Structure 1
Amino acid sequence: MPNRNQQATLLVFLIADFVYSGARCKYQYARRRAECDNQKETENNVTCPLFPIPQQLDCKAYYEFDDLFKWMNDYISSTVDEKSRPSVTANLVYMDRVVWSGNFGRMSKTNQDRPTQDTIYRIGSIAKVFPVLYLFKLWEEGKVSLHDPITKYAPDFTVDPRMGRADDITLLDVASQVAGLPAVVPHHPLLESRVAFNGTLEDVFRRLRNTVLLATPRSKCIYTNLGYAMLADVLARNFSGGDFERWAQKNIIEALDMKNTGFFRPAKTMSEMATGYLFNGWPAPFFDLMWYGPAGNYFSSAADLAKFSMSFLETSKTMLTHQSLTEMLRTRKVCQKGYLGGRAHFTGSPWEMNLISDYLVASKDGDMFGYSSSMALVPDLKLAFNILMSGNRGENVARKVLQKAIPVFRTVLRSVERKGKPVYDPWKYVGNFTFYGTENVTITDSGNGRLEMSKFNLQLNTPYFTALDYVKDGLVRAYIKDNGYPCNVVTNMMNGALLQFKDFRGGRYHEFDILDLYFFGFKRI
């Protein structure tokens, strides 16, 4: 018959086994896929953490970044084509700064000036992010539900119901490319343009009245310009006097200090833009998308896209709360094979989403006559890449860059010792604790209120140290400080685990729980 200590030890390992079997249920589909992709790597004892926590880095101190940035200079400069793509500007953002930037080629075939980070390009579908930000801002303010039917705000919107009713389409469906709406307004192919529509929202609704959806809502990923323009118009009609452009200018462009971004007006912006070119080398015509404007009628610069990227990484000015940004950066649906030429495995709001080197990447590409652009975000790594080109993209430059950049940042971050955010009064936390006599841990102040916890070594033969990152009073997160620790379920879940301190008396906490690992009841000795 095992004694009490042996029973407690057995309980610990039973809990660890339970953690193992249930851990995957705690992550979204994309992260679960990433963990499955990592299974072989883990079995081969590759060092952990699998997903290191981003922290400030001096890129000049690591040779890995020298190699990466040299490769980026060589590769992106090679995308310049004197005939059909003479100007390219790009940057790589990490946390709250641009860590690499490149300006290649010339402003036009007749202007030899090199472009700069402030050079203006048309950004096409990157503009679709603007009406989606509007939706999530209204949701954050409690004015709409993401799952409201769009007909609640546009009762005059109807479709032929044979493939689905207008009432079945939610605001989030429209924002996420799963509403089943066609790409463009039904039009006469000989008398009207496919890429521009000179009409009103009411005109659009009249034309859709006898049109079926392309698929039942939420059953298929379908790219649509019509949907985003309609979303912007419907929301503006209900909440900002019908003027979406003015709302976006005030709440996005001015709020984020994007000085070279705005609604496209040829007479005003042509002189400041890199000239766009078609496949054949002819200058691209300048045209207004008119009613489709919110879906692609904006211009911007690489410097402004860097600021825009940081707002989603939550490392600079933001216009949404953390909760809203987290919701906006979620995957919505696994798309059918070949969607957008294979550029997206998932659809988001309004993102095209993929896994690159195990990280979920949310990107938005813009393709206009004579211009192409990409903004690609890696939220879990606080990394983003932006590129603007005065011609067709030719290849998926953003994907290729991130395939190189993500492993470099992950490798460097694995080598950096984690330092916790200091607590205001470390005395409340420091001391020796025991887990029912089977596991003893010590919490110390390593200096300036930075807490460390040592000797929590379940399923390991040697002790290791964790930095405790201040969250709120009585709440800290544990991050393993040691570099290259072995990959197993317990250590991976311990890295980033939340500790809740309680039983506060005599000016100190006398108990804490490790919530992520289901370990409750570490008592002060």
Structure 2
Amino acid sequence: MPAELLPSTAAKLLHRIAVGQAHGRCPSLLGAVARDGDLVWCAGRGRVGSDTGTEPGPDTQYRIGSLTKTFTAVLIVRLRDEGALDLGDPVSRYLPDLPLGPVTIAQLLSHTAGLPSETPPPWWERVDGVCRPRLADVLDAASVPGPAGRAFHYSNPAFALLGAIAAGSRGVPWFEAVRTEILEPAGMVRTTPMPEPPHALGWAVHPWADVLLPEPTPDTGHMAPAGQLWSTAADLARFASVLLGDVPTILSAESAAEMREPCSPATDGTWQVAWGLGVQLRHCGERLLFGHGGSMPGFVSSFWVEADERLAGIVLANATAGPDVSTIAADLVEIVATEEPRLPDPWMPLTAHDPELLALTGPWYWGATPVAVTLGADRELRVTGLGVRARESRFRPEADGTWRGLEGYYRGETLRVIRNSDGSVGHVDIGSFVLTRQPYAPADRVPGGVDPAGWC
């Protein structure tokens, strides 16, 4: 069972959602925090129904809107991992009847496909999906923001197309694939395409008076993969584990990490908001959060995960507009991470080691730059700088005796150990960069050779 939060931490969390519900003029607002996939705190303010409604709890369904897109993205990444498709494939290979040109699956996932934000009229979020009987009806050929691959432009129809690709590849409707491949294995029994009691009612709050108007909650048809789902705080806590790669039968840790790497609009460390493969990324101070928000008429939601702390902040509300749920969810993560930071895993020595691997550890030199090679669990090697700025990465062992870079500049690059004629280690090659035991030693195989005069 997960440990309970300290009363002082819980009080700060409750105050944050109480302020958010009151200032946001929201009929109800539910906040929750999960750690390692388990709810460690959950509380609601307001009422989920009419004046006689009840306070929301961890099992109360809310419509989660565009958070649905992340479920669709997981389906696509699973298909890629199985070899059923490649993210670089053109969408036309799977949806040949749509005039999409060279648009790729990866561009749909990262909102760089140059597709419009919305469907042609009528407003898809408020009308039944039967008004668009064909998949092609979700696209407006006259509204194209720009060529594919050039810039970020958020697109709801893009995820309708991704849902159709997943459904076509599986041979079942989109939600059936979500249910059997994500929800059931994760134990998410309260995530559904239409509301099931107990659930919140969706409301619009009058901007100038404290009165409410019911909002429609239609089945959006082909647009369902972009925003149809209803879910609960308890289920979303389990989904956080999926996105952290803690449920490898659904999503491997490596693929989960790939989904949260920035694709657009930036890939360096200066950005504040970016997009990965179906997830949004946001820097909040020194913390990097990933997740998604959602809005549909009558509902707003936000779901942020912090990988290092294994924390998820969840906020669900039943108002069309008002509460800043994204900021509230980020604040819930920050409160717990600050008040009760995660304890590091205890250090344990390796139970067995290969003497040849041990011989690789210690100081090396890339030219005149000193680096350290260290050996970790599962035969992973790590290259780090020694007192200077250097290119760093972790390297995973491969079956052929090489190592594959997992992060940073060397991500995807191959590390090879090059041996001398007597079998001893000569140097290390990382994508043609050579590490030697001495800086530019004449006896080492340094590309381009070493000046015979040596150091002077």
Question: Scaled by the length of structure 1, what TM-score is found?
Answer: 0.64
- Alignment partner of 1:263 out of 174, 190, 193: 193
- Alignment partner of 2:85 out of 124, 144, 157: 144
**2:178 is the alignment partner of 1:248:** yes
Aligned counterpart, 2:203: 277
Aligned counterpart, 2:453: none
CA distance, structure 1, for counterparts of residue 24 and residue 331 of structure 2: 28
Counterpart mapping for 1:56-205 below 5 A: 67-81=8-22, 85-158=26-99, 166-187=100-121, 196-198=128-130, 203-205=134-136
Contact 1:332–1:346 (Cα < 8 Å) also in 2: yes
CA distance, structure 2, for counterparts of residue 344 and residue 199 of structure 1: 38
**2:285 is the alignment partner of 1:357:** yes
Contact 1:108–1:274 (Cα < 8 Å) also in 2: yes
Q: Given residue 130 of structure 2, which amino acid in structure 1 is its aligned partner?
A: N
Aligned length: 398
Q: Deviations over 1:49-82 (max 9, x none)?
A: xxxxxxx99676xxxx655432211111222349
Q: Deviations over 1:428-460 (max 9, x none)?
A: 799999969xxxxxxxxxxxxxxxxxxxxx99x
Aligned counterpart, 2:450: none
Q: Given residue 198 of structure 1, which amino acid in structure 2 is its aligned partner?
A: V
**2:164 is the alignment partner of 1:233:** yes
Q: What is the deviation of 1:241?
A: 2.0
Q: Given residue 378 of structure 1, which amino acid in structure 2 is its aligned partner?
A: E
Q: What is the deviation of 1:418?
A: 5.9
Alpha carbon RMSD of aligned pairs, Å? 4.4
- Alignment partner of 1:334 out of 261, 265, 276: 265
Q: What is the deviation of 1:489?
A: 6.7
Q: What is the deviation of 1:184?
A: 2.9
SS in 1 for 2:315: strand
Q: Given residue 107 of structure 2, which amino acid in structure 1 is its aligned partner?
A: D
Q: 1:277 to 1:318 in 2, by over 3 A?
A: farther
CA distance, structure 2, for counterparts of residue 120 and residue 425 of structure 1: 49
CA distance, structure 2, for counterparts of residue 82 and residue 404 of structure 1: 17
Counterpart mapping for 1:3-82 below 5 A: 67-81=8-22
SS in 2 for 1:261: coil
Q: What is the deviation of 1:427?
A: 10
Structure 2 unaligned residues grouped into runs of 5+:
207-211, 364-369, 403-416, 418-423, 439-456
SS in 1 for 2:120: coil
Q: 1:243 to 1:66 in 2, by over 3 A?
A: same
CA distance, structure 2, for counterparts of residue 418 and residue 81 of structure 1: 39
Aligned counterpart, 2:454: none
**2:201 is the alignment partner of 1:294:** no
CA distance, structure 2, for counterparts of residue 409 and residue 103 of structure 1: 21
Aligned counterpart, 2:377: 470
Identity %: 22
Q: 1:172 to 1:75 in 2, by over 3 A?
A: same
Contact 1:499–1:515 (Cα < 8 Å) also in 2: no
SS in 1 for 2:186: coil
Q: What is the deviation of 1:519?
A: 7.3
Q: Going by fraction, where is helix more abundant, 1 or 2?
A: 1
SS in 2 for 1:183: coil
CA distance, structure 2, for counterparts of residue 204 and residue 287 of structure 1: 17
SS in 1 for 2:204: coil
Contact 2:112–2:152 (Cα < 8 Å) also in 1: yes
SS in 1 for 2:281: strand
Aligned counterpart, 1:321: 252
Q: 1:194 to 1:313 in 2, by over 3 A?
A: same
Structure 1 unaligned residues grouped into runs of 5+:
1-55, 159-165, 336-342, 437-457, 460-466, 480-487, 504-509
